[in-house]
Amino acid sequence: MPHVIVKLYTGRNEEQKKDLAEAVADAVVHSLGCEKKVVSVAIEEVDPAAWPERVYRPDILENVDKLYLKPGYDPFGES
């Protein structure tokens, strides 16, 4: 614990993804006061055309009660 999943558009190189994973893990350690050895970070790349249905609808629109930081965009124009 904890496990963090980062979903982002395709196109980042391996170094960028590794840097992001390290930064996320460091933020978790800092915020929660846990040891880094208990933190895991996964990165899922999503094609931009698939983003609205694969990420925005299920992870954002259908889980508003779980969001602690809401995006400032809506690909469906509903907000």
CA distance 37 to 50: 33
Rounded-to-integer distance, Cα 16 and Cα 6, Å: 13
Q: How many CA atoms lie within 13 A of 69 on its CB side?
A: 0
Convert the pLDDT of each residue in 7-24 to its tens digit: 999 999 999 999 999 999
Q: Using 50, 70 and 90 to split pLDDT, how confident is the model at 77?
A: confident
Render pLDDT for 35-64 as a digit per residue (tens, 0 to 9).
999 999 999 999 999 999 999 999 999 999
Is the predicted pLDDT of residue 79 greater than 60, yes or no? no
Whether the upstream peptide bond of residue 52 has omega within 30° of 0, thus cis, is no
Residue with tokens 């400032």: 72
Domains detected in the chain: 1-46 (3.30.429.10), 47-79 (no CATH)
